[in-house]
Structure 1
Amino acid sequence: MKEVWVSNSYAKINIGLNVLERLDSGYHNIETGFCFIEWTDRFEITPSSRNSLTMSDEKIPVDDTNLIVKAVNLLEKEAGLKDQFHIKVQKNIPAGAGLGGGSSNAATTLRMINKIANLGLQETELMELGKKLGADVPFFIQGNPGFATGLGTEIEPLNIQPDGWIVTIFPGEPSSTPEAYNFVEPNPEPEFSLRKVLEEEPLEEWEYLIINDLEASVFPRMNIVGNIKDQCYEFGASYASMSGSGSSVFGIFEQDFVAIHAYESFHSLGFSANLSRPNFEPDLGIYKKQIS
């Protein structure tokens, strides 16, 4: 019998993204709301005589540029990891989509191997390690919706998971994060407090109060992203936006049949899409099974 450990790696969406300041380092001070959606990659990890990684999407490199490999290397360097593993990932979250797939994979790797190898790292320690891999990795380790500030690494848990059906659509081509930020015009004084709107205003008001500053730099270069956002509203979304630096777009719907119609319509148009339930909570459990 062989031990296999399984867990899901979840995608996120950004509800609102204010770019407040461009720093001398080239990074940006931002504020954004992070929520989970039901778009997942599936992880299977088995003890092995050497470290190896298999991805179902063969276009994704499995060398040292992959965040999963970087996470394993970080645990070896910082946490004394000696055990070795074969990691198999069924990849469903599209890459370059603004859904945090790579960061989520890194977080799942840290959480799973910490448990499997009995490294004994606390969640706060895993989050500190995660910061070295990517700005939003700590969010995925924490596993709660939250409000991110600074470079996006300072995340305060905040119950802002929408009470609505979320349809997320990937246009089929990735958006460049560096380009999106390069062409953005920072605004140090947004008209409305994003945090206050997310906490206090009803969903039907979000269209008028919440923006993603990066849309202005992405839409002119990728018309399809703006077109999908418009289609979400045409299908009856209460709120629609690009997620993060794109290229994915999501619409939040109050009624299930309207959301399902939108989801099926985007599918029939040939787009990858996902439908998430209201008040969705990710299952971050790590489960062991025996196989012969």
Structure 2
Amino acid sequence: MSKELWISNSYAKINLGLNVTERLENGYHTIETGFVFIEWSDRFEVTPANHFELDMGESRIPIDDSNLIVKAIKLLQEEAGLKDQYRIKVTKNIPAGAGLGGGSSNAATTLRMMNKISNLGLNEEDLMKLGKKLGADVPFFIKGKTGLGTGLGTEIEEMDIQPANWIVTVFPDIESSTAEAYQFCEPATPEFSLRNLLLEEEPEEWRYLMTNDLEKAVFPRLHLIGNLKDQFYEFGAEYASMSGSGSSVFGIFQQDFVAINAYESFHNLGFKTNMTRPGFSPDMGIYRKEVD
């Protein structure tokens, strides 16, 4: 007898610029940043089950209450009436602790898939409200559209800012502590409007105008990340930056053969490396199959 199998992809993001504008009394920070997608994704396969089961495919990834997928399931059970049970198998490709939003993306994919499969009837706004309880980046991944993130990063102004350039992303296999990155950064009023930079300036100008404020807090402690950024410029990137609080670094390239050379060079050095096509748009679909 056949049974349902539901499939979807969970995509990573990078930050185009990241301005830390204020440190709040509760310890959080207000930011502004450009969220765009890269072609680095995890694959979700969901089947009905007698009890909830999570298979991350890697023993070093916890599957307890610290996992954002588990947190998303429990949140839906408590606040949206989720009663059905499923087995969720995740093929992990996005590195953990990389500043690429892999955990947040997984949480968003879980919310979207469970809402559709179990007919919970939640709209996008409902899902985004739930997502905010799981992490600052989660609403962006639920929306599935590029945009400017402000406030705590949860307010997303939809903007067409996906670069019409090749993006090469490198994970140096070290973890950068988000808490420490924000602890050691100095909030400031941005010199230039990030919105204007992303909408009006070409990527070759970003190098001189756009910053990730967390780099100053991270590079002195983790030299390899700063070295990777320098290496991108040596390989001919028009713009390079750390993504989020690290540790991944990306470069933006105008020409495909220059991007391919950078990709192959980092890959041959043993780094996990990804290349994203110009104007990439993620497939956020949830697909159903019948399996034996």
Common fold: TM-score over 0.5: yes
Aligned position for 2:274:
274
Give structure 1 regions of 4+ aligned residues with deviation exceeding 2 angstroms: none
Q: Does 2:49 correspond to 1:68?
A: no
Aligned-residue offset at 1:121: 0.5
**Offset at 1:2?**
1.7
1:225 aligns with 2:225: yes
Task: After TM superposition, give the deviation of residue 17 of structure 1 in Å.
Answer: 0.3
5 Å-filtered alignment, 1:129-278, equals 129-187=130-188, 189-278=189-278
Per-residue CA shift, 1:227-256, capped at 9, x if unaligned?
000010111100000000000000000001
Which AA in structure 2 matches 1:172? D
Consecutive unaligned residues of structure 2, counting only runs of 5 or more, are none
CA distance in 2, matches of 1:196, 1:248: 25
SS in 1 for 2:262: helix
Counterpart in 2 of 1:98?
99
Aligned residues: 291
Q: Which amino acid aligns with 2:186?
A: E
- Using the alignment, how far apart are the partners of 1:228 and 1:38 within structure 2? 20
- 1:203 positional shift: 1.1
Deviations 1:88-125 (A, max 9, x none): 00001001110000000000000001000011110111
How far is 1:57 from its partner? 2.0
The Cα of 1:145 is off from its aligned counterpart by: 0.4
Residue equivalent to 1:36: 37
* Match of residue 84 from structure 1: 85
Measured against aligned partners, the alpha-carbon deviations of 1:123-159 in whole angstroms (never above 9, x if no partner) come to 1110010000000100000000010111100111111
What TM-score, normalized to structure 2?
0.99
Q: How many Å apart are 1:290 and its aligned residue?
A: 1.3
Shift of 1:174: 1.1
State the alpha-carbon separation in 2 of the partners of residues 95 and 72 from structure 1.
20
| Partner SS for 2:128 | helix
2:3 & 2:268 partners in 1: Cα distance?
41
Q: Deviations over 1:153-195 (max 9, x none)?
A: 01111111001000000001111000000000111x2111111
Q: What is the distance in 2 between the residues matched to 1:181 and 1:95?
A: 19
Name the SS of the counterpart of 2:252 in structure 1.
strand
- Give 1:247's aligned amino acid: S
Q: Distance in 1 between matches of 2:195 and 2:96?
A: 28
Cα deviations across residues 49-94 of structure 1 (Å, max 9, x unaligned)? Answer: 0001000222110011100000000000000011000000000100
State how far apart, in whole Å, the 2-side matches of 1:291 and 1:255 are. Answer: 43
1:14-68 deviation digits (Å, cap 9, x = unpaired): 0000001100000001100000000000000001000010002221100111000
Partner of 1:71, secondary structure, is helix
What secondary structure is seen at the aligned counterpart in 2 of 1:50?
Answer: coil
> Structure 2 CA distance, aligned partners of 1:175 and 1:194?
24
Q: CA RMSD in A?
A: 0.5
Aligned-partner residue type, residue 121 of structure 1: L
Q: Quick one: distance in 2 between partners of 1:73 and 1:191?
A: 42
Question: What SS is found at the alignment partner of 1:63?
Answer: coil
Q: Secondary structure at the match of 1:109?
A: helix
Letter in 1 for 2:190: P
**2: CA distance between counterparts of 1:184 and 1:125?**
33
SS in 1 for 2:64: coil
The residue number in structure 2 matching 1:59 is: 60
- Which residue in 2 is equivalent to 1:291? 291
Residue of structure 2 equivalent to 1:111? 112
- Secondary structure of 1:229's match? helix
Give, in whole Å, the separation in 2 of the partners of 1:73 and 1:33. 30
- Which amino acid in the other structure matches residue 179 of structure 2? P
SS at match of 2:263: helix
